[in-house]
Structure 1
Amino acid sequence: MTAAPFLAPLIVEARKLNRSLAALLAVAAPSLIAIFCFFNMLRGKAPQPWEMWMGSASAIWAFFMLPMSVTALTALVAHMEHGPKSWDHLRALPLPRWRLYAAKAVCVLAVVALMSAAVLAMTWGAVTLGAAIKPAVQPTGAFDLATYAGTMGRMFAAALLMIAIQLWVALRYASFVPALAVGIGGTFFSVVATSAKQGVFFPWQMPVNMLATEAWRVNTALGLGLGLGAVVLVAALVHLSRREVL
């Protein structure tokens, strides 16, 4: 079996995203973090290490912007079919239904990965620009791209469970309300229960646990987020391919 049968729906989904507001979302969320860092730099009076700036950007991303971006992105991807009521047409095509949903999942994961990389790139650009305007706050220390990228990669992996849950709900229900309720509710409890030790088991808190100083928190959140995320994603594909959309 060749990859061509799966590439076809994947290319179609990518083209749909290109014509949607997904590109705007992918740029807007990282840009907000970069703008925040830029103006914070201009307000500063003393230089801070690169680690502080990149760590702050990563924390904002994992803590708030990533969950909200996933909520918006999955709702957007699902609404491209729910809105025009095109599921009946798609599910009547002569190909396994799971490929339709798998293509959407791959596209969502790809966009989230690009947004994660954009957070690093835009934050670096914002801090560099801020230092050029105000040399007194030039960041100190080395810019350790490998370390920052590794942290962001672990955040992406730990977020798989959250992404799978959000996509499952968004694709399952024609109304965008259930998906938004799950996303907003998950982010809310993640924010108000930040210091809770049990947060390591909460999908919406797993990405931010990649910044924890305790190794067990990092390993537990990463293992559960990636491992259970893969299981939930497969379960979602099986479930969605066998049911009608409500």
Structure 2
Amino acid sequence: MTALSRTPRFTTAIAVEAHKLRRSLALLLATVAPLLIAVFVFFNLLRGEKPAPWTMSLQSSAAIWAFFMLPMSITALTALVAQAEHGPRAWDHLRALPVPRWHLYAAKAVCMLALVAAMSLLLAALTSLAVVGAGIAKPAIAATGVLDIAGYLRLLGRIFLASWLLVAVQLWIALRWASFVPALATGIAGTFFAVVATSAKVGVAMPWQIPVNQLASDPARADLALALGLAGGMVCFALMLWRMGQREMPA
């Protein structure tokens, strides 16, 4: 079978996975997570008496996102995505279909990455609106300086790429075990240790802490974390597709 003939099957697998996402709570979670950060930024600005620079508000939003909300959202989203099959025990049917098994898992990986990317863009839009809204509600604290939306999107893009290893690890665990407990426990534990060991040198290679390293003051550390997150994610995704494709069914 040629690569051309395989392409429609994979495209169909992605379309089916996207349809399942629309019928789940994943989209609601993907909307609420960035919204919560924007709400926090809005009310935090209203508490102040002096205007804050655009840069400070955007950096604060990105820090909350990378430090806590992103890893916890990925933990919950990967569990939800996997439970779409684990819950109704649909793996037997799916794996009996005349399509390469790795298509099933690759489609989930693609949709997860697309979801995280969409959340990043939504965060950029909602944070900007929150800062503008706070300035309208209380003119005395209207943001100063220039809105560098390109720089903010670039930072969020780096955080997104650095999160690939985190997405791969959490998705693999969520798909490997039918129970959602291992994935949630791993994500919570990883986020906890990332929070309490923020300045640890090993954090540059810790999946749950790699994204926040994009905010590091040392450019070399940020670049190293980005390389580890992106390259490590690609390798982990490849291993996941190979290993899960060999299994009869997750258990």
TM-score interval, smaller chain = over 0.9
Deviation at 1:4, TM superposition (A): 1.1
TM-score by length of 2: 0.97
1:245 maps onto 2:216 in alignment: no
CA distance in 1, matches of 2:9, 2:24: 24
CA distance in 2, matches of 1:22, 1:54: 25
TM-score by length of 1: 0.99
Across the aligned residues of Structure 1 and Structure 2, the Cα RMSD in angstroms comes to 0.7
CA distance in 2, matches of 1:204, 1:23: 22
Gapped regions of structure 1 (runs ≥ 5):
none
Deviation at 1:216, TM superposition (A): 1.5
CA distance in 2, matches of 1:79, 1:231: 24
**Residue among 12, 17, 33 paired with 1:13:** 17
CA distance in 1, matches of 2:206, 2:83: 26
1:56 maps onto 2:46 in alignment: no
CA distance in 1, matches of 2:150, 2:134: 22
What pairs up with 1:59-98 in 2 under 5 angstroms?
Answer: 59-98=63-102
2:156: which partner in 1? Answer: 152
**Residue among 98, 105, 126 paired with 1:101:** 105
1:176 maps onto 2:180 in alignment: yes
CA distance in 2, matches of 1:174, 1:23: 22
In structure 1, give the amino acid aligned to 2:13.
P
CA distance in 2, matches of 1:150, 1:126: 19
Deviation at 1:197, TM superposition (A): 2.1
Local SS of the residue matching 1:105: helix
- Cα offsets for 1:115-152 (capped at 9, x unmatched): 01111110101111110010000101100011100000
Deviation at 1:215, TM superposition (A): 1.5
1:189: which partner in 2? Answer: 193
Deviation at 1:202, TM superposition (A): 0.9
**Residue among 27, 30, 34 paired with 1:23:** 27
2:117: which partner in 1? Answer: 113
In structure 2, give the amino acid aligned to 1:140.
T
The size of the alignment, in residue pairs, is: 246
Local SS of the residue matching 1:204: coil
In structure 2, give the amino acid aligned to 1:242.
Q
- Cα offsets for 1:15-41 (capped at 9, x unmatched): 000010111001100010000001011
Deviation at 1:203, TM superposition (A): 1.0
Deviation at 1:177, TM superposition (A): 0.5
CA distance in 2, matches of 1:229, 1:78: 18
1:135 maps onto 2:139 in alignment: yes
Runs of 4+ in 1 over 6 A off after TM superposition: none
What pairs up with 1:161-240 in 2 under 5 angstroms?
Answer: 161-240=165-244
CA distance in 2, matches of 1:177, 1:5: 32
2:37: which partner in 1? Answer: 33
